[in-house]
Structure 1
């Protein structure tokens, strides 16, 4: 017997889903993480990113965010 696959769109099941719960959790940075954060905060790269975000160039912002998304993706 072949596996049965049921595909449904979000619109079809949205009423069956529970309400989304968003909880922000804060944690302290390790000394290494803090050093890296401070190093980045004082770098030219941070200033360049700030200028890019202020320019609202959506494609450039997406290009900058792509490596971060790839490195933190759950299927990595």
Structure 2
């Protein structure tokens, strides 16, 4: 099993995962990243905050992928 690290970006704050988590597959890491992001999102919505959030996943040697949620106001043009 490979060790995956889940670094969190919330607005201007960055939290590095120093321990990592051993998971059996890349797909399991994708699921873990999405569950982590959703858990953080639920907490921030109830606190009235809506920062852009991201979970960047890396191995011990490489950046692998990133899942994110971007909050836009109704007046924001795309």
- Give the TM-score normalised by structure 2: 0.25
Structure with the higher helix share, 1 or 2: 1
Structure with the higher strand share, 1 or 2: 2
Bigger radius of gyration: 1
- Give the TM-score normalised by structure 1: 0.25
Higher relative contact order, chain-length normalized (CA < 8 Å, sep 6+):
2
